[in-house]
Chain A
Amino acid sequence: MTRVLRRPVFLIGLVITLALFAVALLSLVWTPFPPTRMQIVQRLKAPLEFGLLGTDQFGRDVASMLMVGAWNSLSTSILAVLIGASVGTAVGVIVAMRRGLLELVVMRGCDIVFAVPPILSAMMLGAFIGSGRFTAIIAIAVFMVPVFARLTLSAALQIWTRDYVTAAIGMGRPKARITLAHVLPNISNQIIVQVTIQLGLAILTEAGLSFLGLGMPPPAPTWGRMLADSQTFLGQAPWLALMPGLAIALAVLGLNMLGDGLRDLLDPRDNS
C-alpha cells in the first residue's frame, strides 16, 4: 500500500482513468440532456449560458455529448485493444515456442503492419467495408497486433531460458503446456502495462479516425467528430474545440500515467 502511495504518477493516472470510466458508464443511464436532441434556438451558447459546457452549432448540449463520447471512445478503444492484445499475445507466445522460419516471417510481417499508419489502414478498410465503428475497431486492432506480438515474443523468449522452464522441458512436458503454465503467467504483468498504455493510444487513434469521418457515424457523438465540427466555429465558439480537445488530452494523459505507474509498481526488480 505504501508502495502505491509513494507513486503520485500512478495515483493521478488511476484517478483520471477511474473518473473517465465513471463518466462513460454514467452516460449509459443519465446525461443532463439527450445528447442528440437539437434545439436550434439554443445554438452556440457559451458554457453555463446553456448547460454546463454550452451548446454546439445544432444546439446540442456539449456536456452530454462529451459524456456519451467518452463511452463511445472507450468502448471502441477497449474492444480494439482487447482484440489486438489477444491476437498479438497469441502470436507472440506461439512464435516464441516454435521460433525458426516462423519467427522471421512473423516479425517481418509486423514490420509491414508497422509501416502503414492506422489512419491509412482504416481508410483502406473503409473503402472496402464502409466506414463505421467496426472499421475503426478493426483498423486500431490491426495496428495493435504487432505491438503485442513483439512484446510477448521478447518477454516469452526470456522465460524460455529460465531454469524452471528447462526443468519442465526435461520432464517431457509439451511446449503448449509450458506456455500456458509458465510463460503466460510470467509475462502477464508486462502485457497488462502495455494494454493500459495502448488504450491511451487507441483513444487518440479513434479520435483521429472520427475526426476524419471514419469513426462512428452521426448522430452518435464522438470526441473526434466534435473536434472536426468545431473547426469553423473556432472564432465564435472556442469551447466547442476546447472541450473535446481537453477530454482527449486528459484521457490519454491519465491512461499513460496509469500505465507508467503500473510498470514501476509491477516491476519485479524494483524492491525499494
Chain B
Amino acid sequence: MGRMTFWGSATILRSAAFGLMTAAGLFLTQHGAEAAPKTAITVGMAIEPAGLDPTIAAPVAIGQVTWQNIFEGLTTIDKAGKVQPQLAESWQISEDGLTYTFKLRQGVKFHNGEAFDSSVAKFSIDRARGADSVNPQKRYFASIDTIETPDASTLVLKLKQPAGSLLYWLGWPSSVMVEPKSAADNKTTPIGTGPFKFSGWAKGSKVDLAKNPDYWNQAVSVKLDTAAFRFISDAQAQAAALKAGDVDAFPEFGAPELIKSFEGDKRLATVIGNTELKVVAGMNNTRKPFGDKKVRQALMMAVDRATVVEGAWSGFGTPIGSHYTPNDRGYKDLTGVYSYDPEKAKALLAEAGYPNGFTFTMKAPQMAYAQRTSQVLQAMFAEIGVTMNIETTEFPAKWVADVFKAGDYDMTIVAHAEPMDIDIYARDPYYFNYKNPAFNDVLKKVEATSDPAEQEALYGEAQTILANDAPALYLFVMPKLGVWDARVKGLWENEPIPSNVLTDVHWEE
C-alpha cells in the first residue's frame, strides 16, 4: 500500500511539474513572439579558412568571413559587381591614367582604436606589393610606381602604366586596409574598420563576430548584434543543420541534389543566384592532339552543356561559352559559337586527322562537380569516338603540383573562382599553355583605358577569341544555392565576388 501511495504521489508531482513547464514554455514563446526580432545570426560555410587575413592567402573562404564584415578597402564591390567608394570617399584620375588621387574618409577608426589615414593606406598597399609580400593578388599592385601622402586625407598613386581595373582591384578582399600595429596578427585576430569586430574563433567549429558600436558609416544601420560563421563540410549535415535551425543561413549550400528536400518547408527560403565559379575543362594546349584548334573545337561541339548541368549539378547552373559569367560587366552569351553538334564534331575530328578518335586521360579532382562532370563528358566524347579515361586526383595539393604547376595533364576540370579572371589566358606560364598574341593585345588595351564602356567592348572581344579558340571547354557557371530562414533578409542573392556581406542582414519582424 505504501508503495502505491508513493507511486501515486510521484505521478501527481510529475504532472504538476509538466504543467508548470508547459506554462513556462507558453509564456516563453509568447514572450518571444512579442519581443523585437532576433539580432543574432549563424551563417553556415562548407570550408573553414586556415587563417583570417585575406591579404596573405588565396582561399576564398577567408574573404567570405572577413571581407566587408571585419575588413574594408579603399573601394568596394557592390552586389551588382560595381565599384563603389568606401574608405576612399572620392578619387580623381589624371588624363593619362597614370595618377590616381584619393580623398580618404575622415574619422574612421580601426577596431583597436587606431585611426585610419593616408599613412595607414600607404602601409597597406606597400605591404601588399612589397618584395616579401605573399598577397594572393600581388600582380594587381604591380602597376603602382610610387605612393605619396601629401596630407592625412589624401593618397596619391603614381602608376608605371595605365591600369584600367585598378579601382576594381582595390575593392577585392586581398586589397583591404590593415593597420601597422595589428597587421602581423590579422591571421588569428583580424582588426579592420568594418561594421563587425572579431570576437572569437573556435577552431574546427565557428568564427564569432560582434557589432562594432563605433562604426564610421552612419548611413547604414547594422541590425545584427552578433554573427557566427559555422563550418560544416558534409552536405547532408548542412541540410540537417538548416532543418533543425542550428544554422540560420547557408549562402552557398553544397549539394544541388538536396535542394529539392527543402521544397515544402515554409520556414526556409531557397534562393538560386549566380557565382563567379566557372566550371571549365582545361586542356593542355601544348600536348598532342590538343595543340590542334580543330580538335578542341570538335570536343566543344561534342558537349551538350544543358545536359552537363543537368547531370552534374541537378540542373542548377548557367551554361557559358567563354571564360566569363553573366555577373561580369560586358558579358556576351557565346554558347552558340560551338553548340552541341556531334555530327559536325566527328567531321571536324576527321579533318584534324582523327577519323577514329583518340584516347586521353582526364585528371579530375575529387569534388562532386568535377567527378560528375567528367563522367558526363566521358559519355559525350564516346559518342564521337573519343575515349576519355578518368583519373581522380586530390585537390588542392596534388592537383596544384601535377596540373597547375607541372602542367602534366591532358585535360582537367576545375571551377575558377576569381571574378573577371579572363586574363589567366594571357599569363605565361599558366596551366592551359595557351598562347595567342592577339588575345594578349586585347587585354593590354583593357588596362590602357579607364573608360568602362570601352573596357566592356574589349572584354567582349576577349571572350569571343576564347570561344573561338576553345583553349578550354567552357561548361557552366556554378549556381549560388542560397538556403536560409525565410525571415532573414539582406543576404546577397548573387555573388559577383565570393563574400558573405552581413552589413544589411536583419531578421524580418
Contact = CB atoms under 8 A, between A and B. Distances in A.
A188 to B, nearest CB: 41
Given A232-B235, A232-B258, A236-B257, A58 B375 contact: yes
Nearest to A37: B379
A36 B310 contact: no
Contacts of B261: 235-236
A241 B116 CA distance: 57
B255 interface: yes
Interface in A136-163: none
Interface in A225-240: 231-236
Contacts of A231: 236
B119 interface: no
A59 to B, nearest CB: 8
A57 interface: yes
A40 B389 contact: no
A217 B390 contact: yes
Contacts of A43: 310-311
Contacts of B314: 57
A213 interface: yes
Contacts of B239: 235
A131 interface: yes
Contacts of A218: 374-375, 378, 390
The interface size bin for chain A is: 20 to 34
Interface in B222-245: 235-236, 239
A130 interface: yes
Given A40-B307, A40-B310, A217-B391, A232 B368 contact: yes
B379 A232 contact: no
Nearest to A38: B379
Given A218-B375, A219-B375, A232 B390 contact: no
B139 interface: no
A219 B236 CA distance: 25
Interface in B298-322: 307, 310-311, 314
Interface of A, secondary structure class, is loop
Interface in A146-182: none
B387 to A, nearest CB: 10
A57 B391 CA distance: 20
Given A217-B391, A235-B258, A58 B376 contact: yes
B391 A232 contact: no
Given A131-B392, A232-B236, A233-B257, A58 B311 contact: yes
A233 B239 CA distance: 12
B329 interface: no
B260 interface: yes
A209 to B, nearest CB: 12
Interface string B357-371: 000000000101000
Contacts of A217: 389-392
A169 B180 CA distance: 89
A38 B236 contact: no
Contacts of A38: 311, 375-376, 379
Given A43-B310, A57-B372, A131-B392, A219 B257 contact: no
B311 A57 contact: yes
B206 to A, nearest CB: 24
A8 B267 CA distance: 55
A59 B239 CA distance: 24
Contacts of A213: 366, 392
A130 B391 CA distance: 8
B77 to A, nearest CB: 32
Interface in A37-77: 37-38, 40, 43, 57-59
Contact of A219 (B258, B307, B368, B378): B378
A234 B376 CA distance: 21
Interface string A204-223: 00000000010001110000
Contacts of B372: 57-58
Interface in B364-412: 366, 368, 372, 374-376, 378-379, 382, 389-392
Contacts of A36: 379, 382
A59 B368 CA distance: 17
Interface string B258-278: 101100000000000000000
A233 B235 CA distance: 10
A219 B392 contact: no
Contacts of A40: 307, 310-311, 376
B73 to A, nearest CB: 37
A37 B375 CA distance: 11
A232 B481 CA distance: 15
Contacts of B391: 130-131, 217
Contact of A234 (B236, B366, B374, B392): B236
A235 B264 CA distance: 14
Nearest to A213: B392
Interface in B113-136: none
Given A130-B391, A219-B379, A236 B311 contact: no
Contacts of B382: 36
A217 B236 CA distance: 25
Nearest to A235: B261
A72 to B, nearest CB: 15
**A37, A40, A213, A231 — which one has the most chain B CB atoms within 10 A of its CB?**
A40
A38 B308 CA distance: 11
**A37, A130, A131, A217 — which one has the most chain B CB atoms within 10 A of its CB?**
A217
B478 to A, nearest CB: 16
A131 B392 CA distance: 8
Interface string A126-137: 000011000000
B311 to A, nearest CB: 5
A227 to B, nearest CB: 14
A43 to B, nearest CB: 7
Given A58-B375, A213-B366, A232 B255 contact: yes
A40 B260 CA distance: 17
A218 B366 CA distance: 13
B215 to A, nearest CB: 41
Interface string A225-260: 000000111111000000000000000000000000
Nearest to A126: B392
Contacts of B392: 131, 213, 217
**A131, A219, A232, A236 — which one has the most chain B CB atoms within 10 A of its CB?**
A232
B257 A232 contact: yes
B209 to A, nearest CB: 30
B239 to A, nearest CB: 8
A21 B445 CA distance: 67
Among all A-B residue pairs, the 4 with the closest Cβ atoms:
A38-B379, A40-B310, A40-B307, A232-B255
25 contacts: A36-B382, A37-B379, A38-B311, A38-B375, A38-B379, A40-B311, A57-B257, A57-B311, A58-B311, A58-B372, A58-B376, A58-B379, A131-B392, A213-B366, A217-B389, A217-B390, A218-B378, A219-B390, A232-B235, A232-B236, A232-B255, A232-B258, A234-B236, A235-B239, A235-B258
Given A131-B392, A218-B375, A219-B378, 6 more contacts: A38-B376, A40-B310, A58-B376, A131-B391, A217-B389, A217-B391
